Amino acid sequence: MQKIDNINFSINSHAKQKLKTLFSEIIKYTESDEPYKSLNMKSVILKIYYILLSECSVYKKNAISLNVPDNFIYAKKIIEYIGKNYLDDISLKEMADIVGLSPAYFSKYFKSITETSPIQYLNLVRLEHALSDMLNYNESVTQASMNNGFASTKAFIEICKKVYGCTPVQYKKRFINK
């Protein structure tokens, strides 16, 4: 495993466009009066972390170590793991075992770094992929939920309501009408 201080970020045009869109979303939410704007902003910030870590990180050779706290390295490792394995059934215990911590301690630690629990983060990743599939590939709610790791369509709908204050179909209609 590479240490975080051995990473540079190289942002290609595809990632740059994604990041521009996400920063525009943050600006939109800061100017918004909607009741769930803080949840939306956290979701966008987590997406930015994910893009930077999964698409833009480049490991330096012969880098000088800066003693970055190990706890950030654990978060990076789990964020990368979730990004690669969100389709699978991932438990809190499995994530904790990957970084060698107890599930209770790992959950508190992850929330202190990301301001969301590991399971909530996993569900946010699944939610964004499922909504993207609905928008880009015209998948049904059921298809999108099953193709992106949700245990059920009901779980997908409930998480979408919690994060965006609407069902996936309503979200799609709002997005299309913009």
Write down the pTM of the prediction.
0.64
Residue of 173, 175, 176, 127 whose CA lies nearest to 25: 175
* 149, 87 Cβ separation under 8 angstroms: yes
**pLDDT per position as a tens digit, 53-98:** 777 766 544 433 334 455 588 898 999 999 999 999 999 999 999 9
Q: In the chain, what are the domain boundaries?
A: 4-87
Other C-beta atoms lying within 10 Å of the C-beta of residue 34: 12
